[in-house]
Amino acid sequence: MARPPQLSPEDAKEKILMILQNEGDIVPTYHYNKDRRNLRNAPLPDVINVLETGEIKRIPEWNGEHQNWVCNVEGFDAENEKLVVVTAIIERDWQLKIITVKG
């Protein structure tokens, strides 16, 4: 599959919200589950909150190997501490893959 036209931060946020609002799948990766969730104190409800309310400030990056867009969603966790969720938008499977989180 050829690389699609560049996705804007606004379009990426719209796709994320559509997947969340239409009961798409949220799929945490091994990396998030094993290392980052506990290290960064970022349980899945905090991650979902950031995806719903956060901002995408950087242009999403195309991952040619996996054929999806990857973006950083910046927001705040339940303790009002900054949290960045790195997620892949997989439209064909109606899914958000949680790659990792950063403080």
Supply the pLDDT for residue 35.
62
Upper half-sphere CA count for residue 54 (Cβ side, 13 Å) = 27
56 pLDDT band, cuts 50/70/90, is very high
Choosing among 3.30.1490, 1.10.3470, 3.30.2310, 3.30.70, the CATH entry for 9-102 is: 3.30.2310
pLDDT digits (tens, 9 = 90+) for 59-102: 999 999 999 999 999 999 988 999 999 999 999 999 999 999 98
Supply the pLDDT for residue 30.
87
Q: What is the pTM of this model?
A: 0.91
pLDDT digits (tens, 9 = 90+) for 12-24: 999 999 999 998 9
Are 85 and 96 a contacting pair, CB within 8 Å? Answer: no
- Rounded distance, CA 68 to CA 62, Å? 6
